[in-house]
A and B are shown apart, each in its own frame.
Chain A
Amino acid sequence: MKLSVWTYEGPPHVGAMRVATGMRGLHYVLHAPQGDTYADLLFTMIERREERPPVTYTTFQARDLGADTADLFRTACRDAVERFAPQAIIVGASCTAELIQDDPGGMAETMELDIPVIALELPSYQRKENFGADETFYQIVRHLARPMERTARVSCNILGPTGLGFRHRDDVAEITSLLADMGVEVNVTAPMGASPQDLTGLGRAHFNVLLYPETAEAAARWCEKELGQPFTRIVPIGVGATRDFVAEVRALAPAATAPSEEGLRLPWYSASVDSTYLTGKRVFLFGDATHVMAMARVARDEIGFDVVGLGCYNREFARPLRALAREYGVEAIVTDDYLEVEQTIEALAPEMIMGTQMERHIGKRLGIPCAVISAPVHVQDYPARYSPVMGFEGANVLFDTLVHPLVMGLEEHLLHMFRDDFEFHDAAGPSHHGGGAARAESAGGASPPGPPEDISGKMNGADALVWLEAAERELKKIPFFVRGKARRNTEAFAAQRGVQEISVDTLYEAKAHYAR
């Protein structure tokens, strides 16, 4: 048993729902108890879909347990096929149905339906949502796709976008137009928007673009082996990655031309003088491995941040993520326990977090700005406006996303100049937090000087550092958004030198030491 309040991922059958809901003409018959229909609202509310997800639940109840549930499944299956007339169905069990061992796949196969029936085995007590999506899509592709003659003109499939994906809708549009610009046609985009009928024609494409390894890597590998289609390894998030992606595509399709970079503004915006203040801002990244790995490159090489830590919640990608962290010279954290993520963030005291909905709330609590870069996300991250994160327009979107939470150059400069003004006092807090985030600091200002809060998260033992009153006062004069770093640096500096009492001098010696 594992105690959990937040879960970064749902159970695997929710992953299967994401595939089914992304597709057209496919229906999912899910053997599940009453109540599991809650997952519908993820699609109808968070993603704001106008149709119910194409899922029929058996919704068995206690009184049905026994021989009855198998009948219930057959009835639900027959009714769903009759009512929705899908081109194919997928069938499976949720966590509870897995325990009662009805074997939905076996039952559906004996029903002699005249459409393809694809059985799913999703181990609910070992695996999670992303696995569910990846495995479901793989099973569907394996059942439906066959080797075929290639299209006359060079074409590719786009693999990975699903229902409830972070910015999948606009990423697909952006990459489709990027490929069109290069003279590469898209044969099938799947699962999102594809029907089972469309999937039977996957084999016509010359190669595959794997947009989201989390949800389609197994299918891409199968296509490579069985259909002879190579697939792209680079996820085109950021300017550099998009250019590398273009090179990768051109290697796979020699006739492809270079795309236009007109409209790409990130490089100039990032080079312009107002962005100088972004240099070396300390960021921590957490989310799904694909987004974290790609965004780390954007953060460091394209915005000029310092990556001070990174991590992901999906263990399937632990190895490449750890390798990348080593390249960045930081520790990787692979966990699905938000408390561990919170502790790491507290210990690192970054100036910004790039994370999920959970990290947004952790940031709120700690008074650290946060940009959301990965699922799980809430309704505000399914925006009405066009907001891809991939390709060249995606890079523009990313620049805005990563910079908005921070105080910009000129604003930061003004805050320094007028830091004693009544409007810029501590309790005013960063404007984007509505003043709420400064709570902890201002409370500290009101109380008599006690032992300093230790933001490193370590216990203070016999070698505890003591801030002298004057130093504590001086620290308060430093703008709140760099105060955490100043405190941390000073304490580290003092500890290194075996100094136990921190004076104003210690503070400024440390400042000089760490000056960059």
Chain B
Amino acid sequence: MAPLPARGCGATPVLKERGQREVFCGLTGIIWLHRKMQDAFFLVVGSRTCAHLLQSAAGVMIFAEPRFATAILEETDLAGLADAQDELDREVARLLARRPDIRQLFLVGSCPSEVIKLDLAKAAERLTRAHAPHVRVLNYSGSGIETTFTEGEDACLASMVPALPETSERALLLVGALPDVVEDQALALLSALGIDAVRCLPARRSDDTPAIGPNTVFALCQPFLGETHAALRRRGARPIPAPMPFGEEGTTQWLAAIARDFGVSAERFEAVTAAPRARARRAVAAAAETLKGRSVFFFPDSQLEIPLARFLVRECGMEAIEIGTPFLHREIAGPDLDLLPEGPVISEGQDVDLQLDRARAARADLTVCGLGLANPLEAQGLATKWSIELVFTPVHFYEQAGDLAALFARPLRRKARLKIEAAE
């Protein structure tokens, strides 16, 4: 493990910008959340724009009978509010009749529904009563005016916390939707450390919904869960601060923080983690050959930017120029910021034209950005890594560390391999 930097980024002043933001709204979270929560349906109450966004973001997946849809507001819904609630009841009843397998229904607020102040919380309560006990109806907002991209997951999980059953059991809660394969690896490692009372939020099915109480400790698997963090603390649970489990080092420190809390011996920790750590280091080393000494520039997107930059700098030998994040949650990002050597600009928020000016001036070897910017920057000769893939692909924990590094190495390898200039 690389030594701690003399000075981390914890005290680096943050460049805060306001202006045009080239980011997704929180509705996008539905696209991976609905895969994880197998008996949940996400009903967006919004406009045609919302439906179009989901369709564009979901790409091909939308053709596989997905468990999400949009109740599109029409002119008549805007005219009088009382009737919008009736309309919603009718659409929900139709939906649930067609999909009897659904046990949890999320009414997801959007910009239009928030601006007209459609009370979805009240609707959720009413619909829960109407469809109890088979279906529980919850609500959260994934609107662009309130949430950025992954914050949609945060809002969703936070909406579930108050309804979790109470327990006094000493247990560990893993928070954040991980791909099943990654979640299984995490559970296996914890179990090998002797920690078996582990539950996940979100659970794969509503029957497995975790309980919570004053003896619950929780570890975040994702950095964008600020609201959920706060909601869990309100229920008496205690957080285990740790860097995010990206790369060999991140995973080890994340596990170590939990192991300390549960009093796992150093010998046992070493015995359980030695082999996967060695595997992860070997796998990362292969991709790191391409990445070593190269510079990277992050546009804000998912809040994963700080822990990913930490991984690229410390484990792959990259140099970070600017790390943009849509929102910086000090308490959660702290451990990662402390590991990140001083140097890069940390920016929160965005004025996209100004940030593009900086990115063009910096001409980083690799620019991590959204799909709206990636091709235009490539056309200007910059190698890019589109960031949304980092949210959909399994990238956490030991076995994925090599894949994670490879995601960043591939655009550089490709750029080196193509021997054709673009046609004039």
Binding site for B on A (CB under 8 A): 1-7, 9-11, 13-14, 33-42, 44-45, 48-52, 56-62, 64-65, 76, 79, 83, 94-96, 99-100, 123-126, 128, 358, 361, 364, 378
Contacts and interface: CB of A to CB of B under 8 A. Distances in A.
30 contacts: A1-B77, A1-B87, A4-B51, A4-B71, A7-B48, A13-B49, A33-B25, A33-B144, A34-B21, A35-B23, A35-B24, A35-B53, A38-B24, A38-B372, A39-B56, A40-B371, A44-B373, A48-B375, A51-B376, A57-B20, A58-B20, A59-B20, A79-B19, A79-B353, A95-B48, A95-B49, A96-B115, A99-B112, A123-B75, A358-B63
Contact of B372 (A4, A37, A48, A95): A37
Identify the interface centre among B24, B26, B45: most chain A CB within 10 Å of its CB. Answer: B24
Interface centre among A6, A14, A52 (most CB of B within 10 A): A52
Decide if the interface of chain A is mainly helix, strand, loop or mixed. Answer: mixed
B342 interface: no
A83 B25 contact: no
Contacts of B379: 50-51
A76 B20 contact: yes
Contacts of A65: 115, 145
Given A3-B70, A37-B20, 5 more contacts: A35-B24, A61-B145, A95-B112, A125-B78, A126-B75
Interface in B373-419: 373-376, 378-379
Q: Which of A1, A61, A76 has the most CB of B within 10 A?
A: A1
A412 to B, nearest CB: 28
A96 B111 contact: yes
Contacts of B87: 1
Contacts of A40: 22, 371-372
B142 to A, nearest CB: 9
B198 interface: no
A509 B331 CA distance: 79
A99 B144 contact: no
Contacts of B114: 62
B20 A56 contact: yes
B375 A36 contact: no
Given A5-B62, A62-B146, A38 B56 contact: yes
Contact of A34 (B25, B51, B72, B373): B25
B230 interface: no
A94 B53 CA distance: 13
B22 A37 contact: yes
B69 interface: yes
A484 to B, nearest CB: 21
A4 B20 contact: no
B165 to A, nearest CB: 32
Interface of B: 19-28, 45, 47-49, 51-53, 55-57, 59-60, 62-63, 66, 68-75, 77-78, 84, 87-88, 90-91, 94-95, 111-112, 114-116, 143-146, 148, 353, 370-376, 378-379
A1 B26 CA distance: 21
Contacts of A56: 20
Main secondary structure of the interface of B (DSSP, over half): helix
Contacts of B53: 35, 38
A1 B74 contact: yes
B49 A36 contact: yes
Contacts, number: 176
A124 B20 contact: no
B115 A3 contact: no
Contacts of A10: 48-49, 52
B60 to A, nearest CB: 8
B91 A1 contact: yes
Which residue of A39, A79, A95, A100 has the most chain B CB atoms within 10 A of its CB atom?
A: A95
Contacts of A49: 375-376
Contacts of A128: 48
Given A14-B52, A50-B375, A62-B145, A3 B22 contact: no
Contacts of B75: 123, 125-126
Contacts of A52: 372-373, 376
Contacts of B48: 4, 7, 9-11, 95, 124, 128
B25 A35 contact: yes
Contacts of B375: 44-45, 48-50
Contact of B49 (A41, A79, A83, A94): A94
A44 B62 contact: no
Contacts of A364: 63
A125 B372 contact: no
Question: In this complex, which of B57, B78, B94, B376 has the most chain A Cβ atoms within 10 angstroms of its Cβ?
Answer: B376
Contacts of B62: 5-6
A162 to B, nearest CB: 17
Contacts of A61: 144-146
A35 B78 contact: no
Contacts of B24: 35, 38
Contacts of B370: 41
A6 B60 CA distance: 11
Contacts of B63: 358, 361, 364
Contacts of B353: 79, 83
A65 B111 CA distance: 11
- Residue among A35, A79, A94, A364 with the most chain B CB within 10 A? A35
A41 B69 CA distance: 21
**8 nearest CB pairs, A to B:** A35-B144, A35-B25, A40-B372, A50-B379, A361-B63, A96-B111, A41-B371, A95-B47
A79 B353 CA distance: 10
B77 A124 contact: no
Contact of A38 (B57, B60, B71, B72): B57
Which residue among A13, A42, A44, A94 has the maximum number of chain B CB atoms within 10 Å of its CB? A44
Contacts of B55: 5-7
Contact of B23 (A1, A34, A94): A34
A11 B143 CA distance: 17
Nearest to B90: A1
A400 to B, nearest CB: 24
Contacts of A39: 52, 56
A14 to B, nearest CB: 7
Given A36-B144, A62-B114, A11 B73 contact: no
